[in-house]
Amino acid sequence: MHQENSQFMLEAIRLSVANVEEGKGGPFGAVVVKDGKIIARGTNQVTASKDPTAHAEVVAIRNACEVLNSFQLDGCEIYTSCEPCPMCLGAIYWARPDKLYYANSKEDAASIEFDDQFIYEEIALPVAKRKLFTQQILRDEALAAFEKWKDSPLKIEY
């Protein structure tokens, strides 16, 4: 790993430690880098913001998109203090950065009671076998929005 990469990861780790020390949330930090510079930072803010989606990676992505005035992170790298959970990994894929680096593993996170394995397992199951009751309803009515999207001259594809 290049020295430059180490500095970016050390910042993500510093953020994760500070987040715990300041009592602001879980031990997770992330930075977004573009052209060799940190353009955005994020820490876990789930408990502080009462938002279950406010994971460090999601917060960093939101901040980076605001800085770039874009909904994608082309040409960017994400450094996160821990292997992303399924939600964050999905958000990272949607943001489309060029690279992702992480420090702690999901097994490390599980050892301190942040265990996302059940989500990975649930996602792999057919809908009817998942623990969360899930049922498709009103599909025909909902297709109207998809039909409008397909033909809309106003859409911005992503």
Enumerate the active-site residues. Answer: 57
For residue 27, the 8-state DSSP code is: S
25 Ramachandran zone, left/alpha/beta (phi>0; psi -120 to 50): left
Distance CA 128, CA 109 (A): 29
Indicate the DSSP class of residue 8.
Answer: H
Q: Order of strands, edge to edge, in the sheet holding 29-34?
A: 37-43, 29-34, 76-82, 99-104
Residues in Cβ contact with 155 at an 8 Å cutoff, skipping those fewer than 6 apart: 149
111-139 per-residue burial string, b: 16 or more CB within 10 A, e: under 16: eeebebeeeeeeeeeeeeeeeeeeeeeee
Tokens of 54: 């406010």
